[in-house]
Chain A
Amino acid sequence: MPLGGVLFITIFVIIFGCFLLFVASKLGKRSYDPVKQQTYECGIPAQEKKDTKISVKFYLTAILFIVFDIEIIFMYPWATTFRDFISSGQGLFVLISMMAFILVFIFGLFWEVKSKALDWE
């Protein structure tokens, strides 16, 4: 893998972006006004406390995402080698063992749906 190229383009893009922002900040006019600096709010004065109560659903979605993401990642090595396994005669064995894994996956997904963990009211 071309690590050098990845590093090169990453650094280049970051410098490019910073440079553009710098130029834009130098060219634009600046005038200070306390009202202008305020965060956006629909016509009423912004409140000091910016964080509001946020649904635990977001957290749940993220954690379920991790679990399913790992399961999907484990399908990738299987997917690349499945054809090799078929041609070496082990196809059925690998297919069945993967189906067992996918069955657990389906069971998990089914359970999440049934338990209404994925419902957004």
Chain B
Amino acid sequence: MSPDVFLFWFLAILTVISGLMVVLMTNPVFSALSLAMTMVLIGALFVTLNATFLAGVQLIVYAGAVMVLFVMVLMLFDLKNEIYAFTRGKISGAFKVGSVGILAGLVIGSIGLTASTLLQSSTAPLVSMSGDTTKDLGKILFSQYLLGFEALGALLLIVAVGAVALARSKGGTHAK
């Protein structure tokens, strides 16, 4: 087993374990921290694909921003009652079993449907792994995907405005 392969399996197994922890932990703060760990490990998996810029973005945006928000919000609210309501009772139990069933069905179904494609080894030539993928990304962004890039700016503006509007709406804990 070459070091690269070993590294991939090591990271992949760790990623799956921390992904499972997200679901299996009863304390939501631990779940959120496991999710942050998963994000970091996915970033590391990007590196094995030579997508180094994407790995950095994964770290900065997902692990450094999105999950910080999650963890912070979970710490803000007292979730004891909610956890209790969610972990006890027959109806919620049925919901849990049902949702696990649906998820398992989805996973098995998607694997079954795409198995032929997944097992087929690609004949396309490998992209050169030594090149600077970041510069390529920048060049593609400003030629092929320029419209999407500008639209993204507008979308982020809408998100920011929406977040402020939600936070200031009446009926919240800090209604004016």
**Residues of chain A having any CB pair with chain B under 8 Å:** 1, 3-4, 6-7, 49, 51, 53-56, 58-60, 62-71, 73-74, 76-78, 80-81, 84-85, 90, 93-94, 97, 100-101, 104-105, 107-108, 111-112, 115, 117
Contact = CB atoms under 8 A, between A and B. Distances in A.
A80 B160 contact: no
A77 B139 CA distance: 8
A71 B163 contact: no
Interface in B45-91: 47-48, 52-53, 55, 57, 60-61, 64-66, 68-69, 72-73, 76-78
B174 A55 contact: yes
B interface, over-half SS: helix
A68 B65 CA distance: 10
A103 to B, nearest CB: 8
Contacts of A67: 156, 159-160, 163
Contacts of A68: 160
Interface of B: 3, 7, 10-11, 44, 47-48, 52-53, 55, 57, 60-61, 64-66, 68-69, 72-73, 76-78, 134-135, 137-139, 141-142, 146, 149-150, 152-154, 156-157, 159-161, 163-164, 167-168, 172-174
A interface, over-half SS: helix
Nearest to B66: A66
25 contacts: A3-B11, A3-B44, A3-B47, A4-B3, A49-B78, A51-B77, A53-B173, A62-B69, A64-B163, A64-B164, A69-B60, A70-B61, A74-B141, A74-B153, A77-B138, A78-B138, A78-B141, A80-B134, A80-B138, A84-B135, A93-B142, A101-B149, A104-B153, A104-B156, A112-B160
A120 B74 CA distance: 22
Given A70-B156, A77-B141, 15 more contacts: A3-B48, A6-B44, A51-B76, A51-B77, A62-B72, A64-B163, A66-B65, A70-B61, A74-B152, A77-B53, A80-B138, A104-B157, A108-B157, A115-B168, A117-B167
B52 to A, nearest CB: 5
B55 A1 contact: yes
Contact of A81 (B7, B68, B135): B135
Given A97-B146, A108-B156, A56 B167 contact: yes
A69 B102 CA distance: 35
